[in-house]
Structure 1
Amino acid sequence: MTHHPAQNRQETNQLYTSIDVISHGTITFAENKSDQSKFISIPPNASVQHVKELLFRQWCSERPPLVISVTGGAKDYNIKPKLLKAFRSGLLKVARTTGAWIITGGMNTGIMKLVGEIVQVNPDRSRPIHLIGIATWGCVSGVEQLAVHGSNVNYAKSHSNARGEAPLEPNHSEFIFIDDGTTRKYGGEIEFRAQLTQAISGGFFAPRSTCSVDIETPSIPASQSSRSEKPVPVILLVVEGGPFTVKTVYEAAVQNNIPVVFFEGTGRCCNLFAKAIRLYDDYRRNFEDTAEASP
């Protein structure tokens, strides 16, 4: 079925209305002038189903076979070269071979910046990787530039030393900004992000009564991406991180049944979670052994 540009615009505008879009347009980055990034700003109670429909039908044209949501340290840090190499090659390989979408916080700092740099070196430009940034509107440096309705914005803010804000990462292809009315207060997007990834998954992962340390990424053939009735596997990948990462893990795993992979060795809360899981597994094994030994 062929859609004419006028029909696509009408459908997009209808979705914008149903989502209660506050502002929308495209962004051209000084560091990436060859591509334009789509964006919307929406209230925190916007319909995740309608945003999902916008992604599937308008922005990305089709369902993804896999979604990798990456979270972690928002500040620049030095990751061990061996771990960095494994992370770079692994994420790029999965994204290229499966056509996976990648979701981050969208800022040009920490793990978000690193993911953007990974996508930038994608050797197959004919198959662009959808890198979606979900951020709090009031934490974006130069956000006043983005208060438009359908215009293209030449985003010129590449650095910021102000506390509570950061510039956008230029290799992201789509941005969703959550406008909760706050200024320079991180975390306003966390609940929406978890709910959206759950909506995209379509219930792929049923609720579980126990946790697993190792989570295998399901291998989904590319041909399934056109089967709208099929759910989409989603995982949360954690690299380093602090208090907001802990909340992101809670919203994903506890509130929305999204499996989590911790990249152990990257530090801070990621190592803490890995240690806690090992302690729990040791306790469970000891408890089971004791129960079996009891008459």
Structure 2
Amino acid sequence: MSAHKVSYEKWRDAITSLDLKQCPTCILFSKEQQLPLEQHQNEKCGYGRLKSSHSYEGQPKSQNFGIFYNQYESRLTKFIRCDLREEAEKLYKLIQDDCSQKPRLIISIYGGAKYFQMNERLEKEFMRGIIEAATIADGWILTNGLSRGIGKLVGEAILQDRTLNGGSKDLVSIGLAKWGSLPEETRELLSKKFTSQKNAIQNGAKEEDHEFPREILKTTDAATIERHLTYMVLFDDGKLSGYICDEQRRMFVQEATNDKNKCYAVTVIVEGGKNTLEVILNDLKDSRPVVIIDGSGRIADVLSDLLKRHPER
């Protein structure tokens, strides 16, 4: 039995045992409302989806989890697509049980979700610093899971450490993203791969059944998933646009840092726009330290400048 097949079955069994919520499916259009194709092919529901893209009844038929092995980097990433309202306690337990490690530190690295550029010296120091902190403290890294902006920078830091130093093998990195914000091609590739893995397990899985979709590895679409992380949690609210708010990250961190887990948390802000303020506000309300990277741009620099002018605050 292949190692990937064992990993898949362990991941499948863990997800099944937690009885996670089904991903939402819009059934606005019923069978009784079906019209000739030419009359409704451009009709959309409130979520912005074409009528032809809907299931008419019952539960979603698609598979909602899988594992992908990147043979070029000897890296395994585990995926779960779940309801936006899923309990943080279950998701934390899923990852903790799977990696057999309770974190002593949670590092949330957030900020610019799109392209930005730091000066070379600052970028190198940042990339080295976050890996050192997470490794020394048995920490988990949380980020937005996208292959652009801060998510891409975190992924590059993990890849660089693994390539140059042979490190990051046991470093737990988690992407928290919204299913509907991913490009349509990425969603289709993931759904197809999830389903094919399920069928392969039932019919005798091969190593290639668990390989990362090559189209994602080679894509130039920066909005796709960051492929260097350990886990990808894809939250689904049925909508095919927008980004998740900070509530999912906040609740996950709260679960990890409750008294019984003896874990601390810190948030690192790099660049960022107005949505980054929600992350900062949530952490300050929960009395968690926030580190702002001065010189990284936009909101980070604005806040850094204010703190320099008013250090007493």
Scaled by the length of structure 1, the TM-score of the pair is 0.74
- 1:275 maps to 2:305: yes
How has the CA–CA distance of structure 1 residues 31 and 191 changed in structure 2, closer, same or farther, with 3 Å as cutoff? farther
CA–CA distance in 2 between the matches of 1:7 and 1:78?
A: 40
Aligned to 1:14: 17
Distance 1:154 1:110, change over 3 A: same
Q: d(CA) in 1 for partners of 2:10 and 2:69? A: 25
For 1:262 and 1:13, locate their aligned partners in 2 and report how far apart those are by CA, in whole Å: 39
Distance in 2 separating the partners of 1:136 and 1:44: 8
For 1:251 and 1:153, the matched residues in 2 are separated by: 38
Say if 2:82 is the partner of 1:79.
no
Tell me if 1:159 matches 2:220.
yes
Cα pair distance change 1:276/1:181, threshold 3 Å: farther
Residue identity matched to 1:56: Q
Q: Distance in 2 between matches of 1:25 and 1:193?
A: 22
User: What aligned pairs does 1:1-295 form with structure 2 within 5 A after superposition?
Assistant: 10-15=13-18, 17-20=19-22, 23-29=64-70, 32=73, 34-58=74-98, 60-122=99-161, 123-125=165-167, 127-141=169-183, 142-147=186-191, 148=194, 151=198, 152=210, 154-155=212-213, 156-157=215-216, 158-160=219-221, 166-186=223-243, 188-203=244-259, 229-254=260-285, 256-282=286-312
- CA distance in structure 1 between the partners assigned to 2:267 and 2:89 by the alignment: 20
2: CA distance between counterparts of 1:115 and 1:245? 16
Q: Structure 1 252/271 Cα, relative in aligned 2: closer, same or farther at 3 Å?
A: same
- Displacement of 1:138 after TM fit? 0.8
Q: How has the CA–CA distance of structure 1 residues 271 and 97 changed in structure 2, closer, same or farther, with 3 Å as cutoff?
A: same
Deviations, residues 138-164 of structure 1 (Å, cap 9, x unaligned): 112311222335644633233227xxx
Q: Is the 1:73–1:110 contact (alpha carbons within 8 Å) kept by the matching residues of 2? A: yes
RMSD in angstroms over aligned alpha carbons?
Answer: 2.6
Distance 1:127 1:276 in 2: 39
SS in 2 for 1:241: coil
Once the two structures are aligned, what percentage of the paired residues are identical?
26
State the shift of 1:280 in Å.
4.7
Q: 1:126 to 1:92 in 2, by over 3 A?
A: closer
Where do 5+ consecutive residues of structure 2 fail to align?
1-5, 24-62, 199-209
Structure 1 residue runs of 5 or longer lacking an equivalent are 204-228, 285-295
Deviation at residue 61 of structure 1 after TM alignment:
1.4
CA distance 1:8–1:146, change in 2 (3 Å): closer
**1:184-214 CA distance string (max 9 Å, x none):** 312x1521111111111115xxxxxxxxxxx
Q: What's the secondary structure of 2:79's corresponding residue?
A: strand
TM-score, with length taken from structure 2: 0.70
Map of 1:288 onto structure 2: none
Q: CA deviation at 1:19?
A: 4.8
* Pair 30,243 (structure 1): closer, same or farther in 2 beyond 3 Å: farther
